[in-house]
Structures are given as C-alpha cells and as structure tokens.
Amino acid sequence: MKLHALAIAAHPDDAELGCGGTLLRIASEGRLTGILDLTHGEMGTRGTAESRAAEAAEAARILNLAVRANAGLPDGGILNLPEQRLKVIQYIRQYQPNLVLCNAPYDRHPDHGNAAILVREACFLSGLRKVETFDGEGNPQEPWRPAHLYNYIQDHWFTPSFVVDITSWHEEKLAAVRAFGTQFYNPALKDQPETYISKPTFLQHIEARARELGHMVGVTFGEGFISDRPLLMNL
C-alpha cells in the first residue's frame, strides 16, 4: 500500500501528540496516512504492551489511518544500528510515503532523539539500490526515498520551520491522545503510579502548545515541524 504520509514514532502516542492533527488533516483530503511505531512502549510506567496496542488501535481508528504498524524495536534501546535501520527501511519501501514525519531531534526521552537520527539515515539509505531488503514474502524491495522529512515538536521547545493549521482537527486529535487511557490523566486509574505525562497539567500543556503554535501563524490551533533544509516557497 502506498501512503502519502507516514509518521514514525519511537512510542505509541508520540505521533498522536506531535502530529495527530496534521495526520487528520491529510486524511480529510482523501490521502492515505499511516503510523509506524518503532516500539511497543513496553518500558512505560503505566499500562502494558498489550494495553498500549489496544489503545494504539483505537487511536488509529480516530485518526482515520490506512495503516498502523509496529517495528518491534526495544523500548529504551532505539539506536542508529544497521539492523534497526534495515527494519525501518523495509517499512519505508513497503509504504513508499511522499512525506515522513518523525520524532523531535532532541528531547526529554532519549529514544526520541535517537529515533530522529535512525529515521533520517533510514530515509536516505532507503533510496540506495545497493541496500538490499526483502518484503514479508522474501521478495527484494525497490529503493524508495521520501521527498519530505520533518520532525514534529515534542516535550522540548523548538522554533518551528513551519506550522500546520489543525484548528478543525484539534478536538479529534485530543480524542486520539485520550485513547491512550493508561498513559494520560485518568481519574479511574488513581491507584497507578503518577508519571510526568499522567498529571492533568500535561494535557493542558498539549492544548497550550497547540494554541501557541497556532498563534504564531494567526490561527487557533497549530502543530509545528522542523526542517533541516530551507523550504521552497511559491509566492
């Protein structure tokens, strides 16, 4: 299946938080979107790999994703290693996205910055014919290099290279985030240990961030992205 946009995320919920509104916006235009979670989030303090898989499936439904896959890399152990790169390249060649959105270049969780490095190198190497990979049936895959690669903003603040207006999709984005019921504020789970992201102020921060990014470009809610090269403007 060929996708227009593939969001690649170290952990299930990273993509929802960082670019969920943008994925909804692209899908609303009839273009196919997907998420590749690199790990199952099995090292998370709350919930289990199984509960997060069920939550990820519900969030995928809310986001109208055409596909959601999991690379099965070790949570807390994402590194730019040849075997991890080849796994990511297999998915890039399988879905042939025009646009890849991936984790922030540097962040509170070390997996995020490491995933950004891993995905950037995988996107480049995926375009090289002599890097050999095979699909699930053992057939050699064709090279594919995404035309666009941008990082979404996560915990640490970055000045965005551009902002996407997600005003019409902000509520659905929050619904997709709340689908991860074990991870974020949930009064029904008072007996579970509190984490950095399970406090009620975390979701308030997500809304504040979207308002700030929207304000920068004159809309109500936005998501910001970082580009490592100048963007072409047709004025």
Report the interface residues with Zn ion, using CB under 5 A: 10-11, 14, 109
Alpha helices (H) in the chain, listed in sequence order: 14-28, 49-62, 82-95, 110-125, 170-178, 200-216
Q: Residue 184 and residue 118: Cα distance in Å, rounded? A: 27
CB 118, min distance to Zn ion, A? 14
Nearer to Zn ion, 11 or 68 (CB): 11
Contact 184, 47 (CB under 8 A): no
Nearer to Zn ion, 11 or 87 (CB): 11
Q: Residue 70 and residue 20: Cα distance in Å, rounded? A: 17
List residues bridging with 225 in a β-sheet: 152, 162
List residues bridging with 134 in a β-sheet: 140
Nearer to Zn ion, 60 or 125 (CB): 60
CB 10, min distance to Zn ion, A? 5
Nearer to Zn ion, 32 or 35 (CB): 35
Closest CA to 105 of 147, 146, 56, 161: 161
Nearer to Zn ion, 14 or 172 (CB): 14
Contact 150, 101 (CB under 8 A): yes
CB 28, min distance to Zn ion, A? 25
CB 155, min distance to Zn ion, A? 9
* Closest CB to Zn ion: residue number: 11
CB 47, min distance to Zn ion, A? 13
Residue located via tokens 């995926």: 126
Q: Residue 128 and residue 163: Cα distance in Å, rounded? A: 31
DSSP secondary structure of 50-93: HHHHHHHHHHHHHTT-SEEEE--PPTT-----HHHHHHHHHHHH
Tell how far CA 164 is from the center of its chain.
15
CB 41, min distance to Zn ion, A? 8
CB 73, min distance to Zn ion, A? 12
Nearer to Zn ion, 10 or 92 (CB): 10
